[in-house]
Chain A
């Protein structure tokens, strides 16, 4: 695998389910990011991890819980989501201040 990979690519879940999104980067970068992209809305930065420490949390509801066990992996744990959380969730990685490389995204639908 090269670049940034995300699994699953598509996810449908009920409001009471618990699921996790996975992101893996093979670029040797030291920072990883979660973004949310809803229809007709700008990209929203959710979380930033630098050297495995969370450095930014942009007022994201607690039903989204990130985890960064090492510099190559980033998870987004989901529980009791709402239909308005349906969106494309993008993971990215970078060396600090440099261009971010994005994964293909997970298309999430909450029923």
Chain B
């Protein structure tokens, strides 16, 4: 069975602070993909990144960075110099070859205060 845990239900930071959103996953498959999505108040889920299980290289995209560690089954997401527009619910998700479907975490509500 697949499982994704986002232990942080809500996080509040002040603008320009860095913030890390945690994601821990469980799967017995050796081939899998991990994702992060952003859901702003408008409701639409916006795809941010996909990472496959064979590529542990960390990735940076502007103020966003992702730290994938197979040893701890974690795929954490850091926003540097947060902005008010980063306020949203962020979901981590997992798909494996045997499951065929995305398994979502419960999401982390990030609020960035001005």
- Rounded to whole angstroms, the CA-CA distance of A100 and B93 in the bound complex is 10
Q: Is B50 an interface residue (CB 8 A)?
A: yes
| A-B CB pair tally, cutoff 8 Å | 46
**B50:A103 contact, CB within 8 angstroms:** no
The number of chain B residues with a CB under 8 A from chain A is 20
Partner among B50, B101, B104 whose Cβ is within 8 Å of the Cβ of A42: B104
A96-B100, A97-B33, A101-B47 known; A43 vs B91 contact (CB < 8 Å):
yes
Residues of chain A contacted by B104 (CB below 8 angstroms): 42-43
Q: Which B residues are within 8 Å of any A CB, using their own CB? A: 33, 35, 37, 42-47, 50, 91, 95, 97, 100-102, 104-107
Q: Which A residues are within 8 Å of any B CB, using their own CB? A: 33, 42-43, 45, 48, 55-56, 88, 90, 92, 96-105, 107
